Amino acid sequence: MSNAATTTAETAAPAIAPPMGMLAELTHRCPLQCPYCSNPVELERRSDELDTATWQRVLREAAELGVLQVHLSGGEPAARRDLVELVRTCAEVGLYSNLITAGVNITPEKLRELYDAGLDHVQLSFQGATAEVTEQVSNLPGAHARKRAFAGEVRALGLPLTVNAVIHRANIHQIDDFVELALALDARRLEIAHAQYYGWALVNRAALMPRRGQVMEAIDRVEAARQRLQGRLTIDAVVPDYYARLPKPCMNGWGRQSLNITPSGRGLPCHAAETIPGLEFWNVREHSVAEIWQQSPAFNAFRGTDFLPDACQSCERREIDWGGCRCQALMMTGDATQMDPVCEMSPYHDDIQQLAIIDAERDEPFRYRRFERRRPDRVRQPASETSD
Amino acid sequence: MSGGLAEATVVRLPRGVRLRHDQARGGWVLLAPERVFQLDAIAHAVVERVDGERSVAGIIDDLAISFDAERQRIHDDVLALFRSLIDKGVMEVA
């Protein structure tokens, strides 16, 4: 404090509030091939994944920084053999552990181990409310029956269960069926999450985009179910934003509440942040979680609202929407500092609505989520090709 | 769901809901599936007494003594809080 010059420099920056949540993408390996996956099209390989000790350090550092809840995700997190150890570490450092799983590769014995290690909550994905749709979307025969059985095993242990359904053209007619499924499986929460078009979902947009009328009907059905089942089933909805008038408050603000760690250890402000060129991401192999959160260029690039255009600066929703999604702004306008084109104030608003209308009429096949075959110039360990 | 709440009722936090001190931000939080409830000092004093064994009446009596407050007022506050937490799915009747 005696050095006036450094004191000024160090105290001028406002304190950065710590994150509440962390998405730990343990692996990109997955037995399912869902075309709506939010993972990047260029999936990270097994040989690039962090080892157990590094993940354990990341979890400890996250807890110290102020993270309260960790979402163990992927890919399929249970493709990692050390999942039980990682859940145990969460419990040891007081982190609330949420397992986000497809539920097709966890045996009852493994689930019991996860329970004993202190797992707090399970979020189970359903690609359809019926076997036919689940199998069509996930491209995995038998998936639906296995998921139903897994849900029963979760509830038999007394673990709380959330059913997650990503909604798109192939299942948007099943809203009421998803509600019935969640009740039948004794879930306390249901997430009706309209597809967000990043990563694989963006590649598949013309196969996934529903019509406006379908979206409006789905919203009405969710609202009716929510009223009907108050106190019995909590229904959280992620709105389909291409048809919306207001942008989603993406991540509740860039670098404000949560961070993602990719399988190879890169610290991201959101799933899709790597699509923004020029951002510098730091890796947990070289930096602590606190350094990544507070100091990495990517997290500081769009923190707060100062970077937003004048129209946003005078908007009363400035700190509600946070200007919407940076990745979508880039995608439509070529500039990640613009307002999200979903906002009706955006000059690009009509363009994104038009895109949705056109895509909804196209009849494209799914491009299933898979690891690409290696190009000859990028050959590494052959073992990393396997999906287990 | 919470209509049957009475003084003789025993409530508890279900599996998947945890009361925790929040060192980084100060105060106490209830951690629940996909959400975090920040508790004020009064709500914390009530929830920390929930052990799945004591009845609602027992909790009210304890609070009335600890805070030297009128029992009826504590009764009203505790029941309102418990009803709200039960409706949110973060508390249940034991």
pLDDT tens-digit series, residues A84-135: 999 999 999 999 999 999 999 999 999 999 999 999 999 999 999 999 999 9
Is the pLDDT at A10 greater than 50? The verdict is no
Token representation of residue A150: 């897994």
Which CATH number among 1.20.1090.10, 3.40.50.300, 1.20.1050.10, 1.10.10.1150 corresponds to the domain B11-88?
Answer: 1.10.10.1150
| Interchain contact, A66 vs B89, CB within 8 Å | no
Q: Residue B3's pLDDT is what?
A: 57
- Binding-site sequence positions of A for [4Fe-4S] cluster: 30, 34, 37
pLDDT of residue A374: 60
What predicted TM-score, i.e. pTM, was given to this entire model?
0.91
Alpha carbons A329 and A320: distance in angstroms, whole number: 17
User: pLDDT of A21-54, one tens digit each?
Assistant: 999 999 999 999 999 999 999 999 999 999 999 9
The alpha-carbon gap from B67 to the nearest alpha carbon of chain A, in Å, equals 30
- Which sequence spans correspond to the domains of chain B? 11-88
With a cut of 90, say whether residue A347 has pLDDT above it. Answer: yes
Q: What is the pLDDT at residue A289?
A: 98
Mutation for B interface: A70, A121, A157, most B CBs within 10 A: A121
CB contact under 8 A, A66 and B25: yes
- Cβ neighbors of A376 (< 8 A, separation 6 or more) are none
Contact A274, A293 (CB under 8 A): no
CB of B14 within 8 Å of any CB in chain A?
A: yes
Residue A18 phi, psi (nearest 5): -70, 155
Q: Does B58 touch chain A (CB under 8 A)?
A: no
Residue A381 confidence class, pLDDT cut points 50, 70, 90: very low
A245 contact partners, CB below 8 Å, separation of at least 6: A342, A343, A344
Among the ranges given (A14-23, A72-81, A375-384), the one the predictor scored with the smallest mean pLDDT: A375-384
Neighbour tally for A380: CB within 10 Å = 11
Please tell me which of the candidates A17, A69, A121 has its beta carbon nearest to residue B36: A69
If 0-12 CB within 10 Å is exposed, 13-18 middle and 19+ buried, where does residue A376 land? Answer: exposed
Inter-CA distances, A141 with A63, A102, A104, A145, A146, Å: 39, 13, 11, 9, 10
Tell me which chain A residues have a C-beta less than 8 angstroms from the C-beta of B22.
66, 68
Q: Please give the Cα distance from A300 to A168 (Å, whole number).
A: 33
| Residue ranges at the known binding site of A | 30, 34, 37
Cβ–Cβ below 8 Å for A69 and B31: yes
Chain B nearest C-alpha distance from A220 (Å): 22
Torsion angle, alpha carbons of A268, A269, A274, A277, to 10: -130
All residues of chain B having their beta carbon less than 8 Å from the beta carbon of residue A68 are 20, 22, 29, 31, 36
Q: Are B47 and B63 in contact (CB under 8 A)?
A: no
Which residue in chain B is spatially nearest to A233 when comparing CA positions? Answer: B89
pLDDT of residue A14: 59
Predicted confidence at residue A196, as pLDDT, reads 93
- Minimum distance, in Å, between the CA of residue A241 and any CA atom of chain B: 21
pLDDT for residue A15: 83
What's the full length of chain A, in residues? 388
Cβ within 8 Å, pair B34-A123: yes
pLDDT confidence tier of residue A231, bands split at 50, 70 and 90: confident
pLDDT band at A9 (very low <50, low <70, confident <90, very high): very low
Contact A69, A94 (CB under 8 A): no
Higher per-residue pLDDT: A79 or A244: A79
Asked whether the predicted pLDDT for residue B43 surpasses 70, the reply is yes
Query: What does the pLDDT average to over A336-365?
Result: 92
CA distances from A271 to A101, A201, A281, A305, B27 (A): 17, 12, 13, 20, 30
The secondary element (H helix, E strand) that includes residue B43 is: helix B41-47
Check whether B36 has a pLDDT greater than 70.
yes
Residues 6 or more apart from B16 whose CB is under 8 A from it?
Answer: A120, A121, A159, A160, B32, B33
Q: Does B22 touch chain A (CB under 8 A)?
A: yes
- ipTM (interface pTM): 0.91
Asked if A120 lies within 8 A of B22 by C-beta distance, the reply is: no
A265: three-class secondary structure by DSSP: coil
- Burial annotation A50-64 (CB, 10 A radius, 16+ → b, else e): beeeebbebbbbbbe
Give the pLDDT score at A2.
40
Question: Which residue reads 């291409």 in tokens?
Answer: A242
Q: Calculate mean pLDDT across residues B79-90.
A: 91
Q: Tell me the C-alpha distance between A134 and A239, whole Å.
A: 21
Per-residue pLDDT, averaged over B57-67, amounts to: 95
What chain A holds in terms of domains, given with CATH numbers, is 21-250 (3.20.20.70)
pLDDT reported for residue A386: 40
**What pLDDT, on a 0 to 100 scale, did the predictor assign at position A372?**
77
Among B16, B22, B25, the residue with its CB nearest the CB of A160 is B16
pLDDT digits (tens, 9 = 90+) for A145-173: 999 999 999 999 999 999 999 999 999 99
Q: Which residues of A96-106 are buried (b: 16+ CB within 10 A; e: fewer)?
A: bbbbbbbbbbb
pLDDT at A375: 56
Kindly tell me if the per-residue pLDDT of A382 is higher than 60: no
Nearest chain A Cα distance for residue B65, angstroms: 32
Asked whether residue A384 carries a pLDDT value surpassing 50, the answer given is: no
Average pLDDT score, chain A: 91
CA A255 to centroid of chain Cα atoms = 15
Chain A residues with beta carbon closer than 8 angstroms to that of B2 = 231
Residue A7 has a pLDDT of 40
Q: pLDDT tens across A299-330, in order?
A: 999 999 999 999 999 999 999 999 999 999 99
